[in-house]
């Protein structure tokens, strides 16, 4: 019996005894858990690991005391402060030590106790490569390293995997979207863009993260003094609080960091870049012209800001990796919940206002079973028949599996946008129909005013302060607006299982040279609640691709295919399927000021009068991947 199982049995027994005895016990504090780790591991704090250019990275090393022989290693790299461990870090370190792994945690260059100057995504790429070389060369190492981490600790993993270090045996990138530059039709460039429109969460996220000014310990400080002083100073800044719900409205958006009196850094530079700027291809982002050289277990969530490009990358590696062993050993878990919520969620789960029920999944067991296979050569905890895709089907509220994404049984079913000319708002006559429009089909018109954009409500978002809460919420308040077109099916007579990529094509007109078009997929409950599943946006100037800008002319009709939505949702009998169409979703996405200018450096705007066409010649439509239940 494995040590983790024994500990779990003991914990359950102890809990039962205390409950029946009338006693209760508080869960251990982070300090207590950290002390307990010190009792089962040899810990070296703030080892200064040298890079090829002489700059040294602050590194903590944990070696299990009861291990025998060379050890496999889990490597976790982060830009965040871990001087005082908490939450998921402690959970992962404890699990790694119990399973007989060394655990190495390192700060990115220029962050906290690491020397050098910080750049986004832990540049230079060679730092991670050099860290693996150092680990593999230690007497306690078996030469095999697995990389692990969520969000900022996942994002550098793809670029490292493209370098194919001989010690890099496997990786587990969790919610890694901000490390993906271009993959297929997605030119998100680290989630900076969606459909050519800026994602506004970067303003609050970079406010503390891009801070590179501040005190640093001298480079000739002894290891003993560095460790001693770290108990006094952890170099974490105390940033003045910001009301992001207010400040995020600032124009020009390229100067919003200055308005926040934020730290100097890369914010303004990145906002000035267009989706295909050459600067995106000179940094730490992974692009699809590079190979992935290691087996991977990917972990995504439905309400993340990057679910669609994440899935596109999983498919890209599964289909194109030149090494068959790598190509055939790509796995993905798609969980309910928000960005990086894997170890925080408990059953029953509610995401916003969406009840998910029992969402239990043994993430830790799967992760270490996967690492056991590739770092220890022991596949007993990762069976050969492990599904390539495991996903949570919302609506049905259960885990399901497939061998490819989307599941091979998903078939395209088309719904067409139609109305009698007044789809404006929830109270209009917009319809989604299974039949294509006839020759007498028409159009719906609305006004988009950047001064009063459609407010964001939930969705796949994080890291945006108090401006937006992510998740699924009743959209009826949003749908009451005249600048939101609402298209809805009749009540469903049977369940409709939509699992895969949802594709939407609109035929549009505008009197503005440039504007945006937004969509939102909605599950409408019998009581009228309209809960959002996924959303996206497309800047019209990039409708033909991101290599060049093509502006609209007044009176022209243009085809706009938006970036795909991704979901697994069973629309139950009695529910309805709805599509919202508008031209803003702020502050989830930046406001298009409709001038055709650079947008990031503008304060003046134009009101756009936009049209969605739905006729035989201009059949605006949504294609759903439907699996027969």
Q: Which residues are catalytic?
A: 151, 304, 339
Rg of the chain's alpha carbons, rounded to an integer?
Answer: 25
Nearest to 106 by CA among 164, 145, 69: 145
410-439: burial string, b at 16+ Cβ within 10 Å, e else: beeeebbbbbeeebbbbebebbbbeeebee
- Find all residues with CB under 8 Å of 597, minimum gap 6, and list them: none
User: What is the rounded CA–CA span in Å between residue 297 and residue 362?
Assistant: 14
Which residue is associated with the tokens 């795909």?
Answer: 564
Phi, psi dihedrals of residue 205, rounded to the nearest 5°: -65, -45
Is the Cα torsion angle 497, 501, 507, 509 positive or negative in sign? positive
User: What is the rounded CA–CA span in Å between residue 482 and residue 486?
Assistant: 10
Instruction: Report in angstroms the alpha-carbon separations of 602 from 254, 325, 462.
Output: 9, 50, 26
User: What is the rounded CA–CA span in Å between residue 265 and residue 280?
Assistant: 16
* DSSP label of 524: E
Nearest to 610 by CA among 479, 450, 488: 450
- Cβ count near 224 (within 10 Å): 8
541-571: burial string, b at 16+ Cβ within 10 Å, e else: bbbeebeebeebeeeeebebebbbbbbbbbb
User: What is the rounded CA–CA span in Å between residue 397 and residue 400?
Assistant: 10
Phi, psi dihedrals of residue 33, rounded to the nearest 5°: -65, -40
- Cβ count near 44 (within 10 Å): 14
**What six digits make up the tokens of 116?**
């050098």
Partner residues linked to 307 by β-bridges? none
Per the CB < 8 A criterion, the answer to whether 356 and 350 are in contact is yes
User: What is the rounded CA–CA span in Å between residue 125 and residue 121?
Assistant: 8
| Residue 416, SS3 per DSSP | strand
Partner residues linked to 298 by β-bridges? 332
Partner residues linked to 497 by β-bridges? 570, 627
Instruction: Report in angstroms the alpha-carbon separations of 229 from 60, 112, 458, 495.
Output: 15, 13, 43, 62
- The secondary structure of the chain in percent helix, strand, coil, rounded to multiples of 5, reads 25, 30, 45
User: What is the rounded CA–CA span in Å between residue 60 and residue 227?
Assistant: 11
**What six digits make up the tokens of 159?**
């670029």
Partner residues linked to 49 by β-bridges? 57
Per the CB < 8 A criterion, the answer to whether 174 and 342 are in contact is yes
């Amino acid at each position: 019996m494995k040590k983790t199982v024994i500990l779990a049995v003991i914990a359950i027994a102890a809990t039962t005894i205390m409950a029946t005895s009338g006693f209760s016990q508080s869960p251990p504090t982070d300090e207590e858990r950290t002390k307990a780790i010190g009792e089962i591991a040899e810990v070296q704090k703030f080892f200064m690991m040298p890079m090829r250019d002489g700059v040294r990275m602050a590194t903590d090393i944990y070696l299990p005391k009861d291990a025998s022989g060379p050890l496999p290693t889990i490597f976790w790299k982060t830009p965040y402060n871990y001087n005082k461990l908490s939450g998921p870090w402690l959970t992962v370190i404890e699990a790694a030590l119990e399973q007989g792994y060394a655990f190495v945690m390192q700060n990115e260059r220029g962050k906290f106790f690491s020397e050098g100057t910080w750049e986004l995504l832990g540049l230079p790429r060679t730092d991670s490569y050099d860290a693996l070389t150092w680990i593999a060369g230690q007497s306690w190492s078996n030469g095999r390293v697995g990389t692990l981490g969520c969000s900022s600790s996942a994002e550098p993993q793809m670029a490292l995997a493209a370098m194919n270090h001989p010690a890099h045996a496997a990786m587990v990138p969790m919610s890694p979207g901000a490390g993906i530059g271009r993959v297929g039709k997605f030119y998100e460039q680290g989630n900076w863009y969606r459909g050519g429109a800026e994602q506004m969460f970067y303003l609050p996220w970079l406010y503390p993260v891009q801070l590179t000014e501040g005190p640093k310990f001298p480079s000739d400080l002894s290891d003993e003094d560095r460790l001693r002083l770290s108990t006094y100073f952890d170099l974490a800044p105390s940033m003045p609080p910001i009301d992001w719900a207010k400040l995020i409205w600032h124009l020009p958006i390229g100067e919003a960091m200055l308005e926040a009196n934020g730290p100097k850094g890369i914010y303004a530079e990145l906002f000035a870049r267009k989706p295909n700027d050459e600067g995106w291809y000179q940094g730490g982002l992974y692009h699809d012209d590079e190979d992935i050289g290691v087996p991977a277990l990917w972990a995504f969530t439905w309400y993340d800001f990057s679910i669609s490009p994440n899935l596109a990358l999983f498919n890209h590696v599964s289909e194109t990796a030149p090494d068959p062993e790598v190509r055939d050993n790509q796995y993905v878990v798609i969980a309910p919940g928000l960005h990086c919520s894997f170890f925080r969620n408990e059953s029953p789960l509610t995401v916003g206002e969406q009840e998910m029920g029992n969402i239990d999944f043994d993430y830790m067991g799967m992760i270490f079973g996967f690492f056991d296979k590739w770092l220890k050569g022991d596949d007993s905890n990762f069976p050969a028949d492990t599904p390539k895709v495991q996903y949570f089907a919302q609506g049905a509220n259960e885990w399901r599996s497939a061998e490819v994404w989307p599941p091979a049984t998903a078939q395209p079913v088309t719904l067409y946008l139609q109305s009698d000319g007044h789809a404006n708002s929830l109270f209009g006559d917009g319809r989604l129909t299974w039949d294509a429009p006839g020759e007498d089909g028409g159009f719906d018109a609305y006004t988009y005013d950047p001064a009063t954009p459609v407010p964001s409500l939930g969705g796949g978002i994080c890291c945006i302060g108090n401006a937006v809460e992510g998740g699924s919420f009743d959209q009826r308040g949003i749908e009451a607006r005249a600048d939101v077109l609402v298209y809805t099916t009749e009540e469903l007579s049977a369940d409709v299982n939509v699992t895969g990529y949802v594709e939407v094509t609109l035929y549009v007109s505008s009197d503005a040279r440039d504007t945006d078009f937004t969509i939102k997929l909605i599950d409408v409950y019998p009581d009228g609640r309209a809960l959002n599943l996924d959303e996206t946006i497309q800047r019209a100037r990039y409708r033909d691709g991101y290599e060049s800008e093509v502006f609209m002319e007044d009176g022209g009709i243009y085809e706009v295919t938006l970036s795909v939505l991704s979901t697994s949702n069973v629309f139950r009998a009695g529910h309805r399927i709805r599509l919202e169409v508008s031209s803003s979703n702020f502050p989830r996405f930046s406001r298009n000021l409709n001038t055709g200018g650079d947008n990031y450096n503008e304060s003046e705007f134009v009101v756009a009068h936009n049209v969605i066409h739905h006729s035989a010649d201009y059949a605006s439509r949504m294609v759903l991947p439907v699996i027969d239940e």
